A and B are shown apart, each in its own frame.
Chain A
Amino acid sequence: MLPLIVIAVLLVAWHIAVILRPGLIPGPLKVARAIVELAERGLLVKYVVASLFRVTWGYLGALTVALPLGIFLGTTLPADLAVNPILQVLRPISPLAWIPIAILWFGVGDVSAIFLIFIASLLPLLLAIVNALRNIDQVQLRASRNFGLPIRQRVVRVLLPAILPQLIVAMRIALGVAWLVVVAAEMIAVNSGLGFLIVDARNAGDRYDLVIAGMFLIGVIGVVLDLLMRRLERLDSVRWGYASE
């Protein structure tokens, strides 16, 4: 209830501010009308779907690579020691710094955007998986060795479930990063999606109502994605991994 009141108060304050200082930014009503306009022109669904499409592929691609690679590095100490410095150097590089390389390799288009999202999600996932594997309780690893499970079974029945709580947290973070990056990628590499909407609205006639509408949609969808990911944390088989119990 309280958050709703705060939102209402902020909307009113925004409305009043715009009346007092016209030209600051468009008011809430104008932004609401812009969203309706987007819906009527069929762009709302189109752009949201376009952005989600790129995030989905880039993110799933990252997960597909991070899982086996992370399990390999996390269980093979020499490999991890060899690769870790490279990962540490790559980590502080903003995914946006890859934009020129993405365009060089994949040209302007969906593949570039997907590649950027892939790069952005890969590192947090990979590092979290390696780290989680390193921190598995030795007693549990021994127990699994004691019962003579073949290696594949050990991965599926011990390693994966043991890292799952931390993996889910990393998946949330990575999806958040992916959603940040898709907007930036779309500003440069493509001509659809919510990021494109924002640049395009500014370039094509200072439509700041559409800019803010785009920002609003990005925020709302980001929250929805995070809420969906959080549902995973309530699975019975991972709840042990979170401190609230």
Chain B
Amino acid sequence: MKAKVRFSDINVRIGTIDILESVNLSVNEGEFVCIVGPSGCGKTTLLNIAGGFLQQTSGEATIDGVPVDGPDRRRVFVFQERGVFPWLTVEGNISFGLFDRSEEERRKRIDYYVQLVGLRGFENAYPRELSGGMKQRVEVARALAVNPDVLFLDEPFGALDSITRLQMRGELLRIWQTERKTVLFVTHDIEESIQLADRVVVLSARPARILTEVAIDIPHPRDLSSRRYLELRDKIFSEIGLAHRV
């Protein structure tokens, strides 16, 4: 397996505050990695470094062995649903990154991804006419349409209700299995990470270090009441010092 994204000894200090402390992480091509940790710990910072939106204080972030310098269409961010452009229709949003493709190519891709994310019939709808889950699908389709190698998802389902969130996880897995992109997925929801990822990376509170990495060796579709699932979940909970009780 080839390392797609690699963080080597990444430190980030903003002002006098240490955000990330010697983070070493390597993500393989086609791998689905979830980064979990307490709110505000620096998960998003790590993603922003790989995405080229933020410069680390020291250390190196590489993609395909090349140091990251600035955002790039080959690795696309999926934000929470408010990243969709409200002045563009579903089609307009999905084709946003396709400005330099031929009209024919653009049509083909719009058509394919509208179908893939299940928005057939809504091509000409504006985001304000869509539900939160549908807007999130638009974002995912917009990201996939430019055929990136890497997807960065920053708590993409955080603003959705719990039923939609479950559905969207299913959709994302289905899409990931079709497209086999390398995925870095930031969430503070441990259950979510175990449902989705090949590997869960657990960060500590700030300054964030990697506490542990847990490989999730359960085949998809995952049975959320299986013993292995519960074991892994409790392992991660105890790792971050939470007894799994309310």
**Do A and B associate with each other?**
yes
Interface residues of B in 49-82 (CB under 8 A from A): 51, 53, 71-73, 76-77, 79-80, 82
A143→B88 CA distance, assembly (Å): 14
A208→B80 CA distance, assembly (Å): 63
Interface residues of B in 96-133 (CB under 8 A from A): 96-97, 99, 126-128
A-B contact count (CB 8 A): 62
Instruction: Report the interface size class on chain B.
Output: 20 to 34
Q: Which residues of chain B are within 8 angstroms of A238 by Cβ–Cβ distance?
A: 87
Write the nearest CB–CB distance from B92 to chain A, whole angstroms: 9
Main secondary structure of the interface of A (DSSP, over half): helix
Contact B128 A143 (CB under 8 A): no
| B85 is an interface residue with CB less than 8 A from chain A | yes
Q: Which residues of chain B are within 8 angstroms of A149 by Cβ–Cβ distance?
A: 99
Interface centre among B88, B96, B128 (most CB of A within 10 A): B96
Contact A137 B87 (CB under 8 A): no
Contact A140 B85 (CB under 8 A): yes
Contact B77 A146 (CB under 8 A): yes
Chain A to chain B: the 6 pairs with minimum beta-carbon distance, closest first:
A240-B86, A147-B97, A161-B87, A237-B87, A148-B73, A146-B71
Write the nearest CB–CB distance from B122 to chain A, whole angstroms: 14
| A64 is an interface residue with CB less than 8 A from chain B | no
A164→B86 CA distance, assembly (Å): 12
Interface centre among B82, B83, B86, B99 (most CB of A within 10 A): B86
| A245 is an interface residue with CB less than 8 A from chain B | yes
Instruction: Report the interface size class on chain A.
Output: 20 to 34
- B residues within 8 Å of A by Cβ? 51, 53, 71-73, 76-77, 79-80, 82-83, 85-88, 96-97, 99, 126-128, 146
Contact A147 B146 (CB under 8 A): yes
Contact A147 B86 (CB under 8 A): no
22 A–B contact pairs at CB < 8 A?
A137-B82, A139-B79, A139-B82, A140-B85, A142-B77, A142-B83, A143-B77, A143-B79, A143-B83, A146-B71, A147-B73, A147-B96, A147-B97, A148-B73, A158-B85, A161-B87, A162-B87, A164-B87, A237-B88, A239-B126, A240-B87, A240-B126
| A236 is an interface residue with CB less than 8 A from chain B | yes
Among candidates A139, A147, A239, residue contacting B76 with C-beta atoms closer than 8 Å: A147
A140→B88 CA distance, assembly (Å): 12
Contact A245 B128 (CB under 8 A): yes
Interface residues of A in 107-165 (CB under 8 A from B): 137, 139-140, 142-149, 153, 157-158, 161-162, 164
Write the nearest CB–CB distance from B83 to chain A, whole angstroms: 5
From known contacts A146-B71, A147-B97, A153-B99, infer whether A240 and B127 are also in contact, taking CB-CB under 8 Å.
Answer: yes
Write the nearest CB–CB distance from A174 to chain B, whole angstroms: 22
Q: Which residues of chain A are within 8 angstroms of B73 by Cβ–Cβ distance?
A: 146-148
Write the nearest CB–CB distance from A152 to chain B, whole angstroms: 11
From known contacts A139-B79, A158-B85, A240-B87, infer whether A146 and B51 are also in contact, taking CB-CB under 8 Å.
Answer: yes
Q: Which residues of chain B are within 8 angstroms of A236 by Cβ–Cβ distance?
A: 126
Q: Which residues of chain B are within 8 angstroms of A145 by Cβ–Cβ distance?
A: 53, 71
A162→B88 CA distance, assembly (Å): 10
Q: Which residues of chain A are within 8 angstroms of B71 by Cβ–Cβ distance?
A: 142, 145-146, 148
Among candidates B85, B87, B99, residue contacting A143 with C-beta atoms closer than 8 Å: B85
Q: Interface readout for A159-173 with B: 1 if CB under 8 Å, 0 if not?
A: 001101000000000
Q: Which residues of chain B are within 8 angstroms of A137 by Cβ–Cβ distance?
A: 82
A239→B51 CA distance, assembly (Å): 32
Contact A148 B87 (CB under 8 A): no
Q: Which residues of chain B are within 8 angstroms of A157 by Cβ–Cβ distance?
A: 96, 99
Measured CB to CB, the nearest residue on chain A to B129 is A245
Write the nearest CB–CB distance from A245 to chain B, whole angstroms: 5
With A139-B83, A147-B73 known, 4 other A-B pairs at CB within 8 A are A137-B82, A140-B82, A158-B85, A237-B87
Q: Which residues of chain A are within 8 angstroms of B126 by Cβ–Cβ distance?
A: 236-237, 239-240
Q: Which residues of chain B are within 8 angstroms of A158 by Cβ–Cβ distance?
A: 85
Q: Which residues of chain A are within 8 angstroms of B82 by Cβ–Cβ distance?
A: 137, 139-140
Q: Which residues of chain A are within 8 angstroms of B80 by Cβ–Cβ distance?
A: 139
A237→B71 CA distance, assembly (Å): 27
A89→B164 CA distance, assembly (Å): 52
Q: Which residues of chain A are within 8 angstroms of B83 by Cβ–Cβ distance?
A: 139-140, 142-143
Contact A240 B146 (CB under 8 A): no
Write the nearest CB–CB distance from B39 to chain A, whole angstroms: 18
Measured CB to CB, the nearest residue on chain B to A146 is B71
Measured CB to CB, the nearest residue on chain B to A160 is B87
A239→B83 CA distance, assembly (Å): 17
Q: Which residues of chain B are within 8 angstroms of A142 by Cβ–Cβ distance?
A: 53, 71, 77, 79, 83
